[in-house]
């Protein structure tokens, strides 16, 4: 548990520092003064000052911030103030955090493709010179409340005695209603899990509630790894955008969306699973979280980067800035709502996992 907590904090720190570094470096390059670069939320543990910027480490490692001079409307007319810059330059400073999240995802996916990433080889279109090793039949997903979930099966488990997905499915179907033992490899451990296959509703055969496929470790040359890393990042951005759109649509219709949302506790549990499966899974998980963080931040909601871009768009349209008091109030309300949402999601995670 301690090791998982350390890994979780390291991943969180990387994601936060990369995002805030985007704001930091573009603000600096734009001639804007950065007063503080902080990791975590206050109270402050310790800090040091270099040049005009104070760097701080704070107690709660669940966030981070960059204090940019003029971001709250102060210093109008001063050369080193955020407010003195053009709308396009301010938009670039605000959007740079999200862009850095995407750059991090490209780097991590490229690294994974070079080292060798777990890939569903039956469905993946591979480059002609791709190197494939360690081919196996693996559990890709586990249905909630299924016999498999109750028996302790987990995504990532390797089916030791299965030669093909079809042979495993035939074995399960032939033992409907009977308790069977299935050997799985999880990390360095081999487990013998007992499960009773159930009849497929309105179908033929039986199931235990898992999705399986042939997987292998696929690696590429360094330059194809970069190309593939860019491709993977774009594919996941599109997938997550579609998923977010569906979630927002369902929320407006009053439908439940809690099952597809997770907070720090949920991410901690996913991190624990990935850590048990190996380093490359942690690399891929970090890339996916980075993309999610970037896309959520770009939503046009007050307190998020997208909300700040929205106010810049309004300023561009109306020809003058929105009242600073109104904008600050909107961001304060937005932040409060985000905190309430985080509390709600965290409570759901507690109920779900504990």
Other Cβ atoms closer than 10 A to 177: 9
Tokens found for residue 243: 């998923």
Please say if the pLDDT value at position 270 is more than 80.
Answer: no
pLDDT at 353: 60
Tokens found for residue 220: 């590429």
Cα separation, 129 vs 221, in Å, equals: 9
CATH superfamily of 131-218: PDZ domain (2.30.42.10)
Rounded mean pLDDT, 203-212:
82
pLDDT at 48: 94
Its pTM stands at 0.80
Higher pLDDT, 63 or 337: 337
Residue 58 CA: distances (Å) to CA of 5, 34, 44, 177, 181? 17, 18, 4, 55, 49
pLDDT at 352: 65
Report pLDDT digits (tens) over 56-77: 988 877 667 899 999 888 888 8
Residue 138 CA: distances (Å) to CA of 157, 165, 184? 6, 8, 9
Q: At what angle do helices 305-318 and 87-115 cross, to 10 degrees?
A: 150
Contacts of 35 (CB under 8 A, 6+ apart): 52, 53, 54, 67, 68, 69
Report pLDDT digits (tens) over 98-134: 999 999 999 999 999 999 988 888 656 666 678 888 8
Cα separation, 67 vs 59, in Å, equals: 17
Question: Which of 145, 330, 109 shows the shortest CA–CA distance to 230?
Answer: 109
Please say if the pLDDT value at position 22 is more than 90.
Answer: yes
> Cis peptide before 43, with omega less than 30 degrees from 0?
yes
């Amino acid at each position: 548990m301690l090791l998982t907590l350390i890994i979780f904090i390291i991943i969180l720190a990387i994601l936060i520092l990369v995002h805030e570094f985007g704001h930091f470096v573009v603000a600096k390059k734009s001639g804007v003064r950065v007063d503080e670069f902080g990791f975590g939320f206050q109270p402050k543990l310790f800090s040091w000052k270099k040049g005009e910027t104070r760097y701080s480490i704070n107690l709660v490692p669940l966030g981070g911030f960059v204090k940019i001079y003029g971001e709250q409307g102060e210093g109008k007319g001063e050369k080193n103030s955020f407010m003195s810059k053009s709308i396009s330059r301010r938009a670039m400073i605000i959007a740079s955090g999200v862009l850095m999240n995407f750059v991090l995802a490209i780097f991590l996916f490229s690294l994974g493709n070079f080292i060798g990433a777990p890939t569903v080889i039956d469905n993946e279109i591979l480059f002609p010179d791709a190197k494939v090793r360690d081919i196996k039949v693996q559990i890709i997903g586990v249905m909630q409340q299924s016999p498999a979930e109750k028996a302790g099966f987990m995504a990532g488990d390797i089916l030791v005695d299965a030669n093909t997905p079809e042979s495993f499915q035939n074995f399960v179907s032939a033992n409907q209603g009977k308790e069977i033992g299935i050997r799985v490899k999880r990390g360095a451990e081999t487990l013998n899990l007992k499960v009773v296959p159930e009849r497929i509703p309105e179908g033929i055969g039986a199931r235990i509630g898992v999705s399986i496929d042939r997987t292998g470790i696929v690696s590429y040359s360094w330059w194809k790894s970069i190309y593939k890393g860019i491709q993977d990042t774009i594919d996941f951005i599109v997938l997550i955008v579609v998923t977010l759109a569906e979630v927002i649509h369902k929320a407006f219709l009053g439908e439940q969306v809690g099952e597809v949302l997770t907070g720090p506790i949920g991410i901690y549990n996913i991190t624990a699973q990935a850590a048990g499966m190996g380093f490359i899974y942690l690399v891929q998980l970090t890339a996916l979280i980075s993309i999610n963080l970037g896309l959520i931040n770009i939503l046009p909601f007050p307190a998020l980067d997208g909300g700040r871009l929205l106010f810049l768009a309004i300023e561009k349209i109306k020809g003058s800035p929105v009242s600073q008091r109104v904008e600050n109030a909107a961001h304060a309300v937005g932040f409060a709502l985000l905190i309430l949402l985080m509390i709600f999601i965290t409570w759901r995670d507690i109920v779900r996992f504990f």
